Amino acid sequence: MAKPFFLSTPIYYVNDAPHIGHAYTTTAGDVLTRWHRQRGEEVWFLTGTDEHGTKVQRAAQEHGVSPKKWVDDLVANAWLPVLETLDAANDDFIRTTEERHVHGVQVFWQRLKDSGAVYQDTYVGPYCVGCEEFKLPGDLIEGSGEFEGQMVCAIHGKPCEMLEESNWFFRLSAYSDALLKHYRDNPNAVRPTSAYNEVVSFIEQGLTDISMSRSAVDWGIPLPWQSEQVVYVWFDALLNYVTAAGFGAEPGSPEAERFNRIWPASVHLVGKDILRFHAVYWPAMLLAAGLKLPDLVFAHGWLLVGGEKMSKSKLTGIAPSAIIDYCGSDAFRYYFMSAIRFGSDGSFSWEDLTARYTAELANGLGNLASRLTAMVERYFDGKLPQAGELTVPDLAIRDALVQLPKTVDEKMCELDFAGAIAQVRSLIELTNGYVTEQEPWVLAKDPNKSERLATVLYVVAEVLRVVAVLYHPVMPKSTRKLWESIGAEGVFGPLADQRVDASASWGLLPAGTSVVKTEALFPRLAEEE
């Protein structure tokens, strides 16, 4: 049996509510996993929350509540609801405070302790609480403004805290050669190429051992062999990918069996700021535990505000609901997946969102759908007519249509969401142009041209059938409406069950299918206040 397609997002810190930077990773994961489901693969889409560590503990303290109450409230009121808002169809949601995770983390580190992969020492050096990271000398940059003359974290722009604490170290340095070999043998294991190069050159400089526990923090998972210390938050959080899958469960239990079947992960989606954790520390941990390495770590870019990473700490975070209330979840998903090349940074602007919504969704796909459904209702009593012989312009559309699913599939599997969407969009544009040229409303006036009219409308209906299948992972709600309105639901069943490859044949919609005009797929946007 083929291994399931197992995709993870990072687990999000619950020091605050989500902003669109977080929603961006989840959206990409949801689009890709829906795509793989429509390729007929078994999929397991994992997301969750990272609840331990100093950053979360301090947020709770500032609000005068216990860390547990803080995370419980924020997960229930903000992090779980945002998945609904985004229309994400995740299969699991792991919280690092759950027993299955705590237990798996302890099993994992005990195994590494037993094999001699950890030892006790003293850490002296800078720590950025924003990143929850022990910083290396090359990681800091010259500060500016109020921090002029000081060295600061390159991501948070603030000086680090200086730590001196006795804790346990993981022998990271022992894995440099094995990691380099792995990446030389698997040049596609980290993407895009810029991320791969960054990882390889970091390892080539030589790895130093790193603290895997904290003695000065108490909001975390106790070390199984020394309960006064907790597992360093990253070395707790990274393990979610295996604990959620079933690592640490009783041998022979369904969870343990599931782990054997679905590990290693197919894709870890991460932002570029957390690449080193995922492509250096995490595989080293896995090697130390004798577990397989993930197939791919893909590092996407940042959503920028004023040229800087959007963040809550800099008060530049926009809540996903602020955008989704304006244009809906489908347009949100479409916009972020099509306007920014996955792997590069990008800026969000209301003007750009509005312009693309109007041109590509309302006047593009929405208009094509309403033209077709209105004309089939008006000229053929809502029954899809039988096409006559195809002429040159019809054949051009048909040829583009049968090629499209394969091209889009290649781009989606490369995580080139913008490229995949652009391909579908160009068929929509071609077809809107075709309708304008063929002037079915003029053909309708001449009874001798009714076969030609039938052919033109049939061609458009076939395009909409394929567009609904290919756009479904990106825009689940509006494509479902489209699927119903062209009568495809009654013929082929639910849209989510439609296979990408099977959609490529011509002429699948039978003549006589009921077509109904429904409300606009992409209504006009309200004026911004």
Which residues contact ligand MSP by CB under 6 A?
10-13, 21-22, 24-25, 50, 237-238, 240, 270-271, 273-274, 302-303, 309-311
Which of 111, 312 has the CB closer to ligand MSP?
312
Question: Nearest-CA neighbor of 385 among 469, 429, 443?
Answer: 443
> Please, what is the minimum distance in Å from the beta carbon of residue 420 to ligand MSP?
20
Instruction: Give the separation between CA 220 and CA 222, rounded to whole angstroms.
Output: 6
Which of 240, 266 has the CB closer to ligand MSP?
240
Our answer to whether residue 55 is catalytic in this structure is no
Specify the 3-state DSSP secondary structure of 344: strand
Which of 51, 330 has the CB closer to ligand MSP?
51
Two structure tokens written together for 342: 């996955």
Our answer to whether residue 411 is catalytic in this structure is no
> Please, what is the minimum distance in Å from the beta carbon of residue 237 to ligand MSP?
4
> Please, what is the minimum distance in Å from the beta carbon of residue 407 to ligand MSP?
27
> Please, what is the minimum distance in Å from the beta carbon of residue 349 to ligand MSP?
14
> Please, what is the minimum distance in Å from the beta carbon of residue 259 to ligand MSP?
17
Which of 316, 514 has the CB closer to ligand MSP?
316
Which of 105, 521 has the CB closer to ligand MSP?
105
Our answer to whether residue 160 is catalytic in this structure is no
Our answer to whether residue 278 is catalytic in this structure is no
Which of 90, 455 has the CB closer to ligand MSP?
90
CB distance 457 to 423 below 8 Å: no
> Please, what is the minimum distance in Å from the beta carbon of residue 347 to ligand MSP?
10
Instruction: Give the separation between CA 339 and CA 337, rounded to whole angstroms.
Output: 6
CB distance 173 to 207 below 8 Å: yes
Non-local (6+) Cβ contacts of 410 within 8 A are none
Specify the 3-state DSSP secondary structure of 133: strand
Which of 242, 404 has the CB closer to ligand MSP?
242
- The active-site residue out of 135, 156, 449, 477 is 156
DSSP of 159-179:
PPEEEEEEEEEE-GGGGHHHH
Instruction: Give the separation between CA 92 and CA 114, rounded to whole angstroms.
Output: 31
> Please, what is the minimum distance in Å from the beta carbon of residue 239 to ligand MSP?
8
User: How do strand 151-153 and strand 43-50 relate by DSSP bridges?
Assistant: unpaired
Where does residue 296 fall: left (phi above 0), alpha (psi -120 to 50 degrees), or beta otherwise?
A: beta
Our answer to whether residue 309 is catalytic in this structure is yes
Instruction: Give the separation between CA 515 and CA 189, rounded to whole angstroms.
Output: 46
Instruction: Give the separation between CA 517 and CA 484, rounded to whole angstroms.
Output: 10
> Please, what is the minimum distance in Å from the beta carbon of residue 422 to ligand MSP?
21
When CB distances to ligand MSP are compared, the closest residue is 271
Instruction: Give the separation between CA 439 and CA 428, rounded to whole angstroms.
Output: 16
> Please, what is the minimum distance in Å from the beta carbon of residue 9 to ligand MSP?
7
- The active-site residue out of 52, 101, 113, 128 is 128
> Please, what is the minimum distance in Å from the beta carbon of residue 483 to ligand MSP?
31
Specify the 3-state DSSP secondary structure of 15: coil
Which of 273, 394 has the CB closer to ligand MSP?
273
In three-state form (DSSP H/G/I as H, E/B as E, the rest C), the secondary structure along 394-445 is HHHHHHHHHHHHHHHHHHHHCCCHHHHHHHHHHHHHHHHHHHHHHCHHHHCC
Our answer to whether residue 36 is catalytic in this structure is no
Which of 273, 360 has the CB closer to ligand MSP?
273
Instruction: Give the separation between CA 478 and CA 322, rounded to whole angstroms.
Output: 20
- The active-site residue out of 153, 272, 300, 472 is 153
CB distance 308 to 144 below 8 Å: no
Taking each helix axis from N to C terminus, what angle separates 54-62 and 67-74, rounded to the nearest 10 degrees? Answer: 90
Instruction: Give the separation between CA 436 and CA 368, rounded to whole angstroms.
Output: 10
Specify the 3-state DSSP secondary structure of 181: helix
Our answer to whether residue 327 is catalytic in this structure is no
Q: What is the CA radius of gyration of the chain?
A: 26
CB distance 302 to 344 below 8 Å: no
Two structure tokens written together for 2: 């083929």
Start-to-end CA distance of the chain, whole Å, equals 54
CB distance 427 to 463 below 8 Å: yes
Residues involved in catalysis:
19, 22, 128, 131, 153, 156, 309, 312
